[in-house]
């Protein structure tokens, strides 16, 4: 399919085939905080032949990671910059088809700068988990394998790391069992591996993590 927004800002797409056989594509909002236009700030789904484009979710700043667990899609969303070291949080969201996730009115449940008094177009579906501000949650993978049985059903989340915070945070992969606490930092799983972007699982249950700063794919196994 063609004709998608082509802006470079937040223009690094993420794409997955869903369990429903449709392709899901994230389209970022081309800014720090702004009103998205058209398909900006959405996750769309399309049929495998490129037709039947549907807006699966909107009101998103920039999602660079999603996966399914128990038939439900979860996606990360990067929080806005320039509002201080500790706000707004990065997000993990649960997909409710067609729902509005708050951007640019909310980041987490915090009103975003410049849109404090603006009226959102509808009720916000809040995140299921709020991460520390600026950790830059990107890739998300629910572990399914046997090599690390303690991880089964947990989300592994790549934190690309902060760039505008006085003390750097993130730069790690964390594990998180969705449905427990509503906020925090997860539990560190890997660190010292550069700037993690995506997390995937190989057929043997080993875990691979991409690092765009170091140009490496790391592999973790027993």
Residues of this chain that interact with another protein (CB under 8 A) are 1-2, 6, 8, 11-17, 21, 23, 25, 46, 48-51, 64, 139, 148, 168, 171, 188-193, 197-198, 200-203, 208, 210-212, 215-222
CB of 37 to another protein, least distance (A): 16
- Write the CB contacts of 114 (distance below 8 Å, at least 6 apart in sequence): 33, 104
Identity of the residue, 110 or 176, whose beta carbon is nearer to another protein in the bound complex:
176
Identity of the residue, 82 or 203, whose beta carbon is nearer to another protein in the bound complex:
203
Identity of the residue, 118 or 217, whose beta carbon is nearer to another protein in the bound complex:
217
List, in sequence order, every beta strand (DSSP E) within 33-168: 42-46, 54-58, 66-69, 72-77, 90-94, 99-100, 106-107, 110-111, 129-131, 137-142, 155-159
Classify residue 47 by burial, with Cβ atoms within 10 Å: 0-12, 13-18, 19+: middle
Check if the beta carbon of residue 170 is closer than 8 Å to that of residue 135. yes
CB of 38 to another protein, least distance (A): 15
For residue 107, give Cα distances in angstroms to 33, 50, 150, 208, 209: 10, 31, 32, 30, 27
CB of 134 to another protein, least distance (A): 16
CB of 175 to another protein, least distance (A): 9
CB of 84 to another protein, least distance (A): 23
Phi, psi of 151 (to 5 degrees): -95, -5
Identity of the residue, 13 or 152, whose beta carbon is nearer to another protein in the bound complex:
13
Identity of the residue, 13 or 182, whose beta carbon is nearer to another protein in the bound complex:
13
CB of 93 to another protein, least distance (A): 18
Identity of the residue, 67 or 112, whose beta carbon is nearer to another protein in the bound complex:
67
For residue 28, give Cα distances in angstroms to 5, 68, 146, 194: 9, 20, 34, 24
CB atoms within 10 A of CB 190: 18
Whole-angstrom distance, CA of residue 216 vs CA of residue 209: 8
């Amino acid at each position: 399919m063609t004709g998608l927004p082509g802006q470079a800002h937040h223009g690094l797409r993420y794409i997955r085939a869903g369990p429903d056989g449709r392709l899901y594509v994230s389209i970022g909002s081309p800014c720090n905080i702004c009103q998205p236009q058209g398909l900006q700030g959405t996750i769309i789904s399309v049929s495998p032949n490129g037709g039947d484009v549907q807006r699966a979710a909107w009101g998103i700043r920039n999602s660079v990671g999603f996966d399914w667990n128990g038939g439900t899609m979860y996606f990360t969303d990067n929080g806005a910059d320039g509002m201080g070291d500790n706000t707004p949080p990065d997000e993990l969201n649960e997909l409710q088809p067609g729902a509005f996730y708050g951007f640019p009115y909310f980041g987490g449940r915090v009103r975003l700068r410049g849109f404090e008094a603006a009226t959102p177009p509808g009720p916000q579906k809040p995140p299921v988990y709020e991460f520390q501000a600026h950790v830059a949650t990107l890739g998300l993978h629910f572990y399914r394998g046997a090599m690390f049985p303690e991880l089964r059903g947990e989300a592994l989340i790549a934190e690309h790391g902060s760039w505008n915070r006085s003390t750097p945070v993130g730069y790690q992969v964390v594990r998180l069992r969705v449905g427990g606490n509503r906020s925090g930092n997860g539990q560190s799983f890997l660190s010292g591996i550069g700037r993690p972007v995506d997390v995937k699982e190989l057929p043997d249950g080993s875990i691979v993590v991409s690092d765009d700063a170091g140009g490496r794919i790391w592999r973790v196994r027993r």
